[in-house]
Protein backbone atom coordinates (compact mmCIF):
# COMPACT_ATOMS: atom_id res chain seq x y z
CA UNK A 1 0.00 0.00 0.00
CA UNK A 2 1.14 3.54 -0.78
CA UNK A 3 2.46 5.34 2.32
CA UNK A 4 1.54 9.01 2.64
CA UNK A 5 3.89 11.39 4.41
CA UNK A 6 2.10 13.26 7.20
CA UNK A 7 4.64 16.11 6.92
CA UNK A 8 4.34 16.96 3.22
CA UNK A 9 1.59 14.53 2.02
CA UNK A 10 3.67 12.95 -0.71
CA UNK A 11 2.63 9.40 -1.60
CA UNK A 12 5.61 7.12 -1.19
CA UNK A 13 5.92 3.61 -2.66
CA UNK A 14 5.10 0.62 -0.43
CA UNK A 15 7.96 -0.33 1.88
CA UNK A 16 9.44 3.19 2.04
CA UNK A 17 10.85 4.16 5.44
CA UNK A 18 11.64 7.83 4.68
CA UNK A 19 9.69 10.32 2.59
CA UNK A 20 11.14 10.69 -0.90
CA UNK A 21 10.28 14.37 -0.99
CA UNK A 22 11.00 15.78 2.48
CA UNK A 23 12.97 12.98 4.14
CA UNK A 24 10.61 12.71 7.14
CA UNK A 25 10.43 9.33 8.85
CA UNK A 26 7.32 7.52 7.62
CA UNK A 27 4.98 5.76 10.03
CA UNK A 28 5.80 2.10 10.16
CA UNK A 29 2.40 1.03 11.37
CA UNK A 30 -0.90 2.04 9.91
CA UNK A 31 -2.57 2.65 13.26
CA UNK A 32 -0.27 5.50 14.17
CA UNK A 33 -0.60 6.83 10.66
CA UNK A 34 -4.40 6.82 10.74
CA UNK A 35 -4.41 8.37 14.23
CA UNK A 36 -2.28 11.23 12.89
CA UNK A 37 -4.62 11.72 9.95
CA UNK A 38 -7.61 11.80 12.29
CA UNK A 39 -5.89 14.52 14.32
CA UNK A 40 -5.19 16.39 11.09
CA UNK A 41 -8.88 16.32 10.17
CA UNK A 42 -9.65 18.55 13.14
CA UNK A 43 -6.82 20.98 12.44
CA UNK A 44 -7.60 24.59 11.73
CA UNK A 45 -5.71 24.64 8.40
CA UNK A 46 -8.34 23.70 5.82
CA UNK A 47 -5.88 22.31 3.28
CA UNK A 48 -4.34 19.95 5.80
CA UNK A 49 -7.74 18.76 6.94
CA UNK A 50 -8.88 18.34 3.35
CA UNK A 51 -5.88 16.23 2.37
CA UNK A 52 -6.15 14.15 5.51
CA UNK A 53 -9.84 13.53 4.77
CA UNK A 54 -8.99 12.45 1.23
CA UNK A 55 -6.34 9.97 2.40
CA UNK A 56 -8.64 8.57 5.09
CA UNK A 57 -11.19 7.93 2.37
CA UNK A 58 -8.59 6.23 0.17
CA UNK A 59 -7.59 4.04 3.12
CA UNK A 60 -11.27 3.28 3.89
CA UNK A 61 -10.43 4.06 7.51
CA UNK A 62 -13.54 3.25 9.55
CA UNK A 63 -11.80 4.62 12.66
CA UNK A 64 -12.11 8.07 11.07
CA UNK A 65 -15.90 8.09 10.58
CA UNK A 66 -16.71 10.06 13.74
CA UNK A 67 -13.97 12.62 13.05
CA UNK A 68 -15.17 13.08 9.47
CA UNK A 69 -18.77 13.48 10.64
CA UNK A 70 -17.49 16.15 13.04
CA UNK A 71 -15.75 17.87 10.17
CA UNK A 72 -18.93 17.85 8.09
CA UNK A 73 -20.98 19.28 10.93
CA UNK A 74 -18.59 21.92 12.18
CA UNK A 75 -16.66 23.21 9.20
CA UNK A 76 -17.58 26.50 7.60
CA UNK A 77 -14.69 26.34 5.11
CA UNK A 78 -15.62 26.06 1.44
CA UNK A 79 -14.58 22.66 0.13
CA UNK A 80 -14.03 20.94 3.46
CA UNK A 81 -17.48 19.42 3.93
CA UNK A 82 -17.29 18.16 0.33
CA UNK A 83 -14.02 16.36 1.06
CA UNK A 84 -15.36 14.88 4.27
CA UNK A 85 -18.55 13.69 2.54
CA UNK A 86 -16.54 12.07 -0.26
CA UNK A 87 -14.37 10.30 2.28
CA UNK A 88 -17.45 9.05 4.17
CA UNK A 89 -18.78 7.61 0.91
CA UNK A 90 -15.52 5.81 0.14
CA UNK A 91 -15.33 4.41 3.67
CA UNK A 92 -18.91 3.17 3.28
CA UNK A 93 -19.87 3.02 6.96
CA UNK A 94 -23.57 3.10 7.94
CA UNK A 95 -22.89 5.56 10.76
CA UNK A 96 -22.67 8.34 8.17
CA UNK A 97 -26.14 7.78 6.68
CA UNK A 98 -28.16 10.04 9.01
CA UNK A 99 -25.68 12.90 8.69
CA UNK A 100 -25.73 12.61 4.90
CA UNK A 101 -29.54 12.54 4.92
CA UNK A 102 -29.51 15.77 6.90
CA UNK A 103 -27.01 17.37 4.51
CA UNK A 104 -29.16 16.63 1.47
CA UNK A 105 -31.85 18.92 2.82
CA UNK A 106 -29.77 21.50 4.65
CA UNK A 107 -26.41 22.13 2.98
CA UNK A 108 -25.37 24.01 -0.13
CA UNK A 109 -25.76 22.41 -3.55
CA UNK A 110 -22.30 20.84 -4.19
CA UNK A 111 -22.43 19.20 -0.75
CA UNK A 112 -25.99 17.98 -1.30
CA UNK A 113 -25.01 16.32 -4.58
CA UNK A 114 -21.93 14.73 -3.01
CA UNK A 115 -24.07 13.48 -0.13
CA UNK A 116 -26.30 11.69 -2.65
CA UNK A 117 -23.24 10.05 -4.25
CA UNK A 118 -21.89 9.05 -0.85
CA UNK A 119 -25.20 7.39 0.04
CA UNK A 120 -24.99 5.42 -3.20
CA UNK A 121 -21.55 4.18 -2.19
CA UNK A 122 -22.70 3.26 1.31
CA UNK A 123 -25.85 1.54 0.06
CA UNK A 124 -28.25 -0.46 2.20
CA UNK A 125 -31.91 -0.10 3.07
CA UNK A 126 -31.75 3.18 4.99
CA UNK A 127 -29.58 4.90 2.36
CA UNK A 128 -32.06 3.81 -0.29
CA UNK A 129 -34.98 5.26 1.69
CA UNK A 130 -33.17 8.60 1.95
CA UNK A 131 -32.37 8.58 -1.77
CA UNK A 132 -36.00 7.85 -2.57
CA UNK A 133 -37.02 10.92 -0.63
CA UNK A 134 -34.41 12.98 -2.51
CA UNK A 135 -36.18 12.13 -5.78
CA UNK A 136 -38.61 14.89 -4.84
CA UNK A 137 -35.91 17.43 -4.06
CA UNK A 138 -36.65 20.90 -5.47
CA UNK A 139 -33.19 20.96 -7.08
CA UNK A 140 -33.17 19.08 -10.42
CA UNK A 141 -29.47 18.28 -9.90
CA UNK A 142 -30.17 16.60 -6.59
CA UNK A 143 -33.20 14.67 -7.81
CA UNK A 144 -31.36 13.54 -10.95
CA UNK A 145 -28.36 12.38 -8.89
CA UNK A 146 -30.71 10.56 -6.54
CA UNK A 147 -32.38 8.79 -9.48
CA UNK A 148 -28.98 7.74 -10.84
CA UNK A 149 -27.91 6.57 -7.40
CA UNK A 150 -31.04 4.44 -6.98
CA UNK A 151 -30.55 2.93 -10.42
CA UNK A 152 -26.92 2.12 -9.63
CA UNK A 153 -27.82 0.52 -6.29
CA UNK A 154 -30.65 -1.37 -7.85
CA UNK A 155 -28.59 -2.75 -10.73
CA UNK A 156 -25.78 -3.65 -8.35
CA UNK A 157 -28.28 -5.57 -6.25
CA UNK A 158 -30.21 -7.25 -9.02
CA UNK A 159 -27.43 -7.63 -11.55
CA UNK A 160 -29.50 -5.84 -14.14
CA UNK A 161 -30.09 -2.28 -15.20
CA UNK A 162 -33.72 -1.73 -14.44
CA UNK A 163 -34.70 1.66 -15.69
CA UNK A 164 -36.75 4.19 -13.90
CA UNK A 165 -38.32 7.09 -15.64
CA UNK A 166 -39.07 10.19 -13.69
CA UNK A 167 -42.49 11.56 -14.38
CA UNK A 168 -44.17 14.73 -13.18
CA UNK A 169 -43.95 15.71 -9.51
CA UNK A 170 -40.95 13.47 -9.01
CA UNK A 171 -42.88 10.23 -9.28
CA UNK A 172 -41.07 7.24 -10.71
CA UNK A 173 -42.32 4.32 -12.74
CA UNK A 174 -40.36 1.28 -13.83
CA UNK A 175 -40.14 1.06 -17.63
CA UNK A 176 -38.37 -2.26 -17.84
CA UNK A 177 -38.26 -4.76 -15.07
CA UNK A 178 -36.66 -7.88 -16.46
CA UNK A 179 -37.35 -11.34 -15.11
CA UNK A 180 -36.73 -10.31 -11.51
CA UNK A 181 -39.50 -9.22 -9.21
CA UNK A 182 -38.97 -5.77 -7.82
CA UNK A 183 -38.00 -5.56 -4.19
CA UNK A 184 -40.73 -4.07 -2.01
CA UNK A 185 -38.87 -0.84 -1.52
CA UNK A 186 -39.27 0.02 -5.19
CA UNK A 187 -42.83 -1.09 -5.20
CA UNK A 188 -44.24 1.03 -2.43
CA UNK A 189 -47.57 2.52 -3.46
CA UNK A 190 -45.83 5.87 -3.79
CA UNK A 191 -44.40 4.64 -7.09
CA UNK A 192 -47.31 2.72 -8.53
ZN1 LIG B 1 7.27 14.20 3.14
69-109 pLDDT per residue, tens: 999 998 888 899 999 999 999 999 999 999 999 999 999 99
CATH number, position 78? 1.25.10.10
Whether 49 maps to a domain, the answer reads yes
Chain segment 113-167, per-residue pLDDT in tens = 999 999 999 999 999 999 999 999 999 999 999 999 999 998 887 764 344 444 4
Domain that holds residue 60: 1-91
CA of 75 to the centre of ligand 1 (A): 26
CA of 82 to the centre of ligand 1 (A): 25
Regarding whether 61 and 9 lie in a shared domain, the answer is yes
Q: What is the number of other CB atoms lying within 10 angstroms of the CB of residue 169?
A: 6
Q: What is the number of other CB atoms lying within 10 angstroms of the CB of residue 126?
A: 14
Regarding whether 69 and 5 lie in a shared domain, the answer is yes
Q: Check: CB of residue 164 under 8 Å from CB of residue 151.
A: yes
CA of 24 to the centre of ligand 1 (A): 5
CA angle, residues 59, 63, 65, in degrees to nearest 5:
90
Given this model, what pLDDT does residue 8 score?
82
Report which DSSP code applies to 163. E
11: helix, strand or coil:
strand
Given this model, what pLDDT does residue 159 score?
61
| CA 21/CA 7 separation, integer angstroms | 10
Given this model, what pLDDT does residue 168 score?
40
CA of 21 to the centre of ligand 1 (A): 5
| CA 12/CA 187 separation, integer angstroms | 49
Given this model, what pLDDT does residue 28 score?
66
Residues with Cβ–ion distance below 5 A, ligand 1: 5, 7-8, 10, 19, 21-22, 24
CA of 27 to the centre of ligand 1 (A): 11
- Cα–Cα distances in Å, from 114 out to 41, 46, 51, 88, 129? 19, 19, 17, 10, 17
| CA 74/CA 107 separation, integer angstroms | 12
Regarding whether 186 and 148 lie in a shared domain, the answer is yes
Regarding whether 15 and 78 lie in a shared domain, the answer is yes
CA of 26 to the centre of ligand 1 (A): 8
Regarding whether 183 and 144 lie in a shared domain, the answer is yes
Regarding whether 125 and 86 lie in a shared domain, the answer is no
Regarding whether 2 and 84 lie in a shared domain, the answer is yes
Residue 190 has pLDDT above 70, yes or no: no
Higher pLDDT, 127 or 184: 127
Regarding whether 164 and 79 lie in a shared domain, the answer is no
Regarding whether 148 and 64 lie in a shared domain, the answer is no
DSSP line for 165-181? EE-GGG-EEEEE-TTSP
- Looking at the structure of the chain, the number of domains it has is 2
Binned at pLDDT 50, 70 and 90, residue 3 comes out as: confident
Show Cβ contacts of residue 41 under 8 Å, excluding neighbours closer than 6 positions: 49, 52, 53, 56, 64, 67, 68, 70, 71, 84
Mean pLDDT of 181-185: 37
Regarding whether 154 and 80 lie in a shared domain, the answer is no
Whether 15 maps to a domain, the answer reads yes
Amino acid sequence: MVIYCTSCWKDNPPGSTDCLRCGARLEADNLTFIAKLIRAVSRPEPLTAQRAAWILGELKAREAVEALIGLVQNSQEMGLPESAVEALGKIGDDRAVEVLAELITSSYLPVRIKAVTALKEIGGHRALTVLKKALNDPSPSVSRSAREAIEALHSAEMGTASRYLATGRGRCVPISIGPWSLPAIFWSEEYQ
